[in-house]
């Protein structure tokens, strides 16, 4: 989930504040699921018609919405037995400011005890800014200290019908210089860089270089960080790019994460597991205390901000 501070989004969903840095500086087989059929783990609340749900994705295009639902459904279909239901209170699963110029939905499903899955999170945010509407959708999955495998991160930041920023990465949890076998296993042998290279060949695509040094050092060397501008070709061309290119890359990277990271046990010693826990906690704490602590009150007011941040702290265990 992403939030806005001084008209500059801050990422809640990822453990790294990608959205903040991005906008402040400014065909394999797939599961076909319609936007009207959300996954069962994110049920509609028929007692509150006004409360929007995660899989509504109400302010984005059809291709964008279907992509997000497909990602969530793929993970739930594969890892459902390892996940617990979302237990966030209703006023954290959906919240808005008094003027409804900022709305957000958040879902967190923790992993079962002894599972390699720590939690999965999905979110969307809609914010009406002086420059126009900003829509950000995010989905990420985190692993426990029982494995050192990378986490999964996907985020689409749409500033207009013809302009977006894509973040797609398997975020490393170890130093790739000190652990060349980790680089080989998760990034070289899987040929992750091919997805970035394919997308960057599109004439509408430019590489995005974050202004945040923290983000640059936290990303993998195969991270996809691009700007897409459909320009005079319009929103129809953007829909084609999302459906035919971005969705394909996202599903390929997610498939690698599911097959090579989320469902494969690795030999992790007790001391190494402790180091992983410390590293993971530092990343999550930075998001909540530094990023969200300043952006939430400005966007939603102190009461809502405190409520959501406390729920985040509990989910993140920080």
Domain locations in the chain? 2-32+53-316
β-bridge partners, 66: none
Mean pLDDT of the chain: 83
pTM of the model: 0.84
- CATH class of this structure's domain 2-32+53-316: alpha beta
Q: Do 106 and 123 form a contact (C-beta atoms < 8 A)?
A: yes
Neighbours of 226 (CB within 10 A): 21
Q: Is the pLDDT of residue 44 over 60?
A: no
**3-state secondary structure at position 166:** strand
Residue 284 pLDDT grade (very low, low, confident, very high; cuts 50, 70, 90):
confident
User: Per the structure block, which two tokens stand in for 133?
Assistant: 């509407």
Asked whether the beta carbons of 204 and 229 are under 8 A apart, the reply is yes
Q: Band of the pLDDT at 37, cuts 50, 70, 90?
A: very low
Q: 129, 10, 126: which is closest to 64 by C-alpha?
A: 126
């Amino acid at each position: 989930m992403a939030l806005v501070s001084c008209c500059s989004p801050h990422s809640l969903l990822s453990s790294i504040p990608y959205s903040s840095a991005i906008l402040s500086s400014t065909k394999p087989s797939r599961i076909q699921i319609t936007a009207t059929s959300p996954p069962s783990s994110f049920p509609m609340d028929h007692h509150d018609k006004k409360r929007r749900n995660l899989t509504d994705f109400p302010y984005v295009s059809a291709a964008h919405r279907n992509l997000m639902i497909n990602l969530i459904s793929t993970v739930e279909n594969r890892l459902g037995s390892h996940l617990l239901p979302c237990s966030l209170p209703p006023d954290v699963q959906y919240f808005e400011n008094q003027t409804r110029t900022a709305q957000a939905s958040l879902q967190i499903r923790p992993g079962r005890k002894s599972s390699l899955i720590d939690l999965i999170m999905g979110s969307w945010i809609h914010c009406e800014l002086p420059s126009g509407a900003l829509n950000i959708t995010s989905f990420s999955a985190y692993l426990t200290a029982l494995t050192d495998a990378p986490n999964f991160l996907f985020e689409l930041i749409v500033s207009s019908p013809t302009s977006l920023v894509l973040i797609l990465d398997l975020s490393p949890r170890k130093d790739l210089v000190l652990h060349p076998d980790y680089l080989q296993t998760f990034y070289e042998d899987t040929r992750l860089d091919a997805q970035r290279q394919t997308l960057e060949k599109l004439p509408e695509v430019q590489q995005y270089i974050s202004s945040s040094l923290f983000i640059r050092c936290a990303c993998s060397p195969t991270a996809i960080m691009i700007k897409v501008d459909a320009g005079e070709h319009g929103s129809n061309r953007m829909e084609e790019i999302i459906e035919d290119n971005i969705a394909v890359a996202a599903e390929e990277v997610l498939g690698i994460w599911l097959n090579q990271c989320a469902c494969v046990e690795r030999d992790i010693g007790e001391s190494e597991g402790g180091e992983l826990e410390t590293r993971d906690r530092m990343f999550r704490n930075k998001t909540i205390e530094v990023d969200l602590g300043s952006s939430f009150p400005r966007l939603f007011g102190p009461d809502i901000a405190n409520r959501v941040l406390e729920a985040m702290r509990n989910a993140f265990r920080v």
